[in-house]
Amino acid sequence: MIVKLAEKRGFCFGVEDAIEAAQSAVARYGAGNVVSLGPVIHNQQVVERLESAGLRQSGELEELEPGANVLIRSHGVTPDVLERAKQKQLNVVDATCVLVKKAQDVVQRLHEEGYRVVMIGDRNHPEVRGVIGYAPNVVIIDRVEDVERELPFKERLGIVAQTTHAPEHVAEIIAEIVRRPYIELKIVNTLCLEVIRRQQAAVKLAAEVDVMFVLGGKHSANTQELARMCRAAGVDTYHLETWNDFEPGMIEGKTVAGVTAGASTPDWIINEFADRLREL
Ligand code: SF4
């Protein structure tokens, strides 16, 4: 099999920083003494490696003992969670990505300036759940159909987007909003360039191959988006976590395969996959 790799793929700086923060916290406070509030990143294999190095995981702040070391993952949390951590006298190690932090600051500023904040994003994604905590009554719009149903009229709207969304998807929703008689719209670009570069590289590669493999966690929003874009480009596409998910039928009748990966997929998963595929 001929295997081509996307020029931009895998780990972004935000994920690298979060992993480094987790590793240095474990090195500093000792194995078993640092608890991540949810998975540090959306990649099960990396999370398992961190856990075997001594990082613990918990879903709830309330489960932690006063004085415990708590790691805030790359997706960030609401100010309310930070406040509760402070009240509980937890030692907070904040691994929120700087771009997610920027989105949180923007939402707070838009609210202070009198805008009704609109966030284009997936309401179930941890980044969105955290960011909307920085202003009251944030309206979440995930798809074009939500505009009619969810968006209040006659308001000054301040619009941001989930960092990992595709610009085309965000533009489509904004086009739907500007068709309506809003008095004022302020759009702040909170999209992540790391994600956009991976999307562009994936679509370019999809045009050169018979089949695309997009590697990354099943819950990783940016990996899902990469797979969606490759499919939209018209090529057979599989979203897999690791080589274990591969089945020979996926390359039946194909000669050239493209491989890309989401921003939370490590190189060792990508390289193992590409090497094994080349051997077929
Ligand atoms: S994809 Fe972008 S926003 Fe998300 S962690 Fe990486 S650098 Fe930060």
Q: For ligand 1, is residue 161 a contact (CB within 6 Å)?
A: no
- Determine which residue's CA is closest to atom 8 belonging to ligand 1: 14
* Cα of 18 from ligand 1 centre, angstroms: 10
Residues 108-135, mean pLDDT to the nearest whole number: 96
Residue with CA nearest ligand 1 atom 4:
14
Reference 251, options 217, 218, 280, 215; nearest CA is 280
pLDDT of residue 219: 86
Q: What is the pLDDT of residue 152?
A: 82
Question: By alpha-carbon position, which residue is closest to atom 6 of ligand 1?
Answer: 14
| Chain center to CA of 8 | 16
Cβ atoms of 139 and 150 within 8 Å: the answer is: yes
Q: Does the beta carbon of 195 lie inside 6 Å of ligand 1?
A: yes
- The pTM is what? 0.91
Q: Which atom of ligand 1 is nearest to the CA of 193?
A: 2
Compute the mean pLDDT over every residue in the chain, rounded to the nearest whole number: 95
Active site residue: 48, 127, 168, 176, which one? 127
pLDDT tens readout for residues 34-83? 999 999 988 999 999 999 999 999 878 888 889 999 999 999 999 999 99
Q: Collapse the DSSP code of 55 into the 3-class scheme (helix H, G, I; strand E, B; otherwise coil) and give the result.
A: strand
Mean pLDDT in residue range 184-208: 97
CA 264 to ligand 1 center in whole angstroms: 9
**Among protein residues, the one whose CA lies closest to atom 2 of ligand 1:** 192
Model confidence pLDDT, tens digit, residues 83-113:
999 999 999 999 999 999 999 999 999 999 9
Mean pLDDT of the region 123-131: 95
H runs (alpha helix) in the chain: 13-29, 44-52, 79-87, 98-112, 126-131, 144-150, 167-178, 193-206, 221-232, 267-278
Q: What pLDDT is attached to residue 155? A: 81
Q: Which atom of ligand 1 is nearest to the CA of 222?
A: 1
pLDDT for 63 equals: 85
Ligand 1 pocket, 15 CB below 6 A? yes
Residue 193 Cα to ligand 1 middle (Å): 8
* CA–CA distance, 190 with 163 (Å, rounded to integer): 6
- Residue 153 has a pLDDT of 76
Task: State the distance between the two ends of the chain, measured CA to CA, in whole angstroms.
Answer: 6
220-269: per-residue pLDDT in tens?
Answer: 889 999 999 999 999 999 999 999 999 999 999 999 999 999 999 999 99
- Once rounded to an integer, what is the mean pLDDT over residues 192-218? 96
Cα torsion for 82, 194, 205, 215, to the nearest 10°?
-30
Domains of the chain with bracketed CATH: 2-11+194-278 (3.40.1010.20), 13-97 (3.40.50.11270), 99-187 (3.40.1010.20)
pLDDT at 205 > cutoff 90: yes
Choose one of 13, 194, 199 to mutate for the ligand 1 pocket test, by most ligand atoms within 8 angstroms of C-beta: 194
Identify the residue whose C-alpha is closest to ligand 1 atom 5.
Answer: 14
| Ligand 1 midpoint to CA 153 (Å) | 32
What is the pLDDT, as a whole number, of residue 227? Answer: 96
User: Measured in angstroms, how far is the CA atom of residue 99 from the centroid of ligand 1?
Assistant: 6
Residue 226 tokens, joined: 């990469």
Q: Is 127 a catalytic residue?
A: yes
